């Protein structure tokens, strides 16, 4: 086969054969496909949205359907000596979102009808007999082709995610899906391979409870890079693309690589995982030659926001959640009300560390794209107008950059006063959280540090020629806040910081008092630190 020249990035293209035939840029994952098919029979993989699960599913489809020509020049093409054309039953359940029970049954029936047009329909079976029709299809396909069948279920949890937080709706929807998949175990003699993907482990135990031999490869180190793009792959298979990005932005190759890593890398799906990039955001950045928040452009899942509203999580701890047992974040969401499993499985948190001795994990944001995007989402929950929160942070940072601290604090005063009463509880923790989120977002605009450990100020912001050290108090006074800056020595690290251009940068102490009665900043005081 004549070598095809790479012409474009597969933005929005999720089908293996279309990518290969269309000469799109493809990171070769076919070696994993060959290995998994020859190692296991029933496989489950969980990965966040936009992480390449559908592409991987279609790769399994093409490989097991014996589409040999598509694998010329790829790893599986080198490894496979015998190409069998198995009948493949591929169900993309992402098309079954936002449905009620009746609509879900019709959708499943429609998916079966597509295969019945190829293998024949049993007139004695009713349309609603989806399990019996599924079982018959597999048996007749094996009989007609002489080869064992393959079942691929992509995004198995899609029909259930939107009703996950509604037990009354969840139960019947789950029963429909369980009924649909119930023949799989009894069909074992007719099956070559079964592959199931999803965002979460949601309902895995209940829907596929009969598949007691289902191999979950989601946290196996050797398959950590089966979806997404690894550091090794970007530095080898995508080196030319990174070079083009650097040229387009007028920066060095190393700077471009570091910027990509900072924004889109950092995912770890087990304790010994490779560094994994979000593939969707990465190829969007390479294609547009811009560093944007592409993952968040496609929205934050409704089910996650609903779970957070029902079961709040400490926003100030999300960047570093320590001493977490695996059972706390790798559990089916239907078995607990905690928000943590959803945050991890949906890709908003990832594994940042693992203690071999205690078997405890550290979780946190994978990268800047997720940290900034999710912080904006969290801040928006305190204000019904999302843009007003983002606009406030931008204008707040602009005021700091021109060293107009009074304007900056006036804007914060106005913003906090506009938070609806029903979202505000007048506790010190409430105000601390809002301040934390604001200063975390400031890191996108200026050099902002938010620390909560004893011995460090509430917030520190660096502009071109000033360092602002903030201390916030609730129902106290700005003077008390200033005194704490002095008493705790919060300024000391910055007085002797060599990055302060030989101590030419001005150091300013900012004491702020917040009133629980007015629900906003009551007063502030600014002092220039003495050398």
* Segment holding 197, helix H or strand E: strand 191-198
State the DSSP code for 9. Answer: -
SS3 content of the chain, % helix, strand, coil (to 5): 45, 15, 35
Provide the b/e sequence for 37-56 (b: ≥16 CB within 10 Å).
Answer: beebebbbbbbbbbbbbbbb
CB 42 within 8 A of CB 194: yes
- Candidates 185, 156, 149; CA nearest to 45 is 156
C-alpha triplet 66, 198, 179: angle, nearest 5°: 85
The rounded Cα 240 to chain-centroid distance in angstroms is 27
CB 349 within 8 A of CB 364: yes
In CATH terms, the fold of domain 16-223 is Rossmann fold (3.40.50)
- Candidates 334, 314, 301; CA nearest to 324 is 314
Which structure tokens are listed for 378?
């969290």
Strand partners, 464: none
Residue 447's pLDDT is 67
Residue 249 and residue 235: Cα distance in Å, rounded?
A: 18
CB 5 within 8 A of CB 23: yes
Which structure tokens are listed for 523?
């007063």
Residue 423's pLDDT is 52
CA distances for 35 relative to 32, 58, 197, angstroms:
5, 16, 17
Low-confidence ranges of the chain (pLDDT < 70): 1-7, 202-206, 209, 383-388, 421-426, 444-455, 497-503, 531
CB 354 within 8 A of CB 361: yes
In CATH terms, the fold of domain 382-528 is Trna Endonuclease; Chain: A, domain 1 (3.40.1350)
Contacts of 336 (CB under 8 A, 6+ apart): none
Only one residue has tokens 């029963």, namely: 175
Q: How far apart are the first and last CA of the chain?
A: 73
Contacts of 386 (CB under 8 A, 6+ apart): 376, 380
Instruction: Count CB-CB contacts under 10 A for residue 291.
Output: 19
pTM of the model: 0.89
- Candidates 227, 201, 158, 290; CA nearest to 14 is 227
Rg of the chain on CA atoms, in Å = 27
Strand pairing of 229-230 and 276-277? antiparallel
State the DSSP code for 331. Answer: S
Residue 424's pLDDT is 54
Q: 472 by DSSP, 3-state: which?
A: strand
State the DSSP code for 10. Answer: -
Contacts of 366 (CB under 8 A, 6+ apart): 265, 266, 267, 268, 278, 347, 349, 350
Residue 7's pLDDT is 57
CA distances for 43 relative to 99, 176, 192, 480, angstroms:
27, 22, 12, 60
- Candidates 527, 526, 518; CA nearest to 413 is 518
Q: E strands, 414-483, where? A: 447-450, 459-462, 466-474
Sheet hosting strand 88-92, strand order edge to edge: 88-92, 149-154, 191-198, 42-46, 215-216
């Amino acid at each position: 086969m004549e070598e095809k020249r790479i012409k474009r990035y597969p933005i929005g293209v999720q089908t293996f054969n279309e990518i290969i035939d269309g000469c799109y840029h493809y990171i070769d994952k076919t070696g994993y496909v060959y290995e998994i098919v020859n190692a296991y029979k029933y496989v489950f993989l969980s990965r966040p949205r936009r992480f390449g699960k559908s592409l991987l599913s279609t790769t399994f489809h093409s490989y097991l359907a014996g589409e040999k020509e598509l694998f010329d020049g790829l790893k599986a093409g080198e490894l496979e000596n015998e190409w069998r054309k198995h009948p493949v039953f591929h169900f993309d359940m992402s098309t079954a979102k936002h449905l009620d029970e009746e609509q879900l049954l019709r959708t499943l029936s429609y998916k079966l009808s597509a295969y019945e047009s190829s293998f024949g329909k049993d007139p004695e079976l009713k349309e609603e007999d989806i399990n019996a029709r599924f079982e018959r299809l597999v048996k007749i396909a094996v009989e007609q082709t002489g080869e064992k069948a393959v079942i691929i279920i992509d995004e198995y949890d899609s029909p259930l995610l939107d009703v996950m937080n509604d037990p009354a709706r969840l139960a019947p929807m789950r029963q429909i899906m369980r009924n649909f998949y119930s023949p799989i175990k009894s069909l074992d003699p007719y099956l070559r391979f079964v592959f199931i993907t999803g965002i979460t482990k949601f309902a895995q135990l209940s829907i596929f409870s009969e598949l007691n031999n289902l191999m979950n490869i989601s946290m196996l180190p050797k398959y950590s890079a089966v979806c997404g793009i690894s550091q090794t792959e970007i530095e080898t298979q995508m080196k030319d693309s990174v070079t083009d990005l650097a040229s387009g932005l007028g920066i060095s190759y190393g700077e471009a690589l570091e910027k990509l890593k900072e924004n889109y890398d950092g995912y770890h799906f087990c304790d010994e995982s490779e560094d994994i990039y979000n593939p969707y955001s990465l190829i969007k950045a390479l294609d547009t030659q811009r560093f944007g928040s592409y993952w968040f452009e496609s929205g934050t899942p409704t089910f996650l926001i609903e779970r957070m509203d029902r079961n709040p999580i400490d926003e100030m701890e999300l960047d570093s959640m320590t001493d977490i047992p695996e059972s706390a974040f790798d559990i089916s969401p239907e078995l607990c009300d905690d928000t943590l499993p959803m945050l991890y499985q949906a890709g908003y948190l990832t594994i940042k560390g693992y203690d071999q001795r205690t078997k405890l994990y550290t979780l946190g944001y994978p990268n800047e794209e997720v940290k900034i995007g999710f912080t904006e989402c969290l801040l928006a929950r305190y204000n019904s107008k999302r843009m007003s929160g983002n606009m406030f942070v931008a204008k707040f940072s602009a005021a700091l950059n021109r060293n107009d601290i009074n304007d900056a604090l006036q804007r914060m005063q106005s913003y906090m006063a506009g938070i609806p009463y029903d979202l505000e509880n007048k506790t010190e923790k409430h105000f601390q959280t809002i301040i934390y989120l604001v200063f975390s977002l400031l890191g996108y605009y200026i050099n902002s540090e938010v620390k909560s450990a004893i011995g460090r100020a509430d917030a520190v912001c660096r502009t071109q020629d000033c360092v602002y050290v903030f201390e916030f108090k609730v129902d106290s006074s700005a003077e008390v806040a200033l005194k704490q800056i002095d008493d705790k020595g919060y300024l000391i690290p910055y007085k002797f910081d060599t990055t302060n251009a030989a101590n030419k940068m001005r150091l300013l102490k900012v004491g702020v008092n917040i009133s629980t009665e007015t629900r906003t900043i009551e007063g502030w005081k600014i002092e220039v630190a003495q050398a």
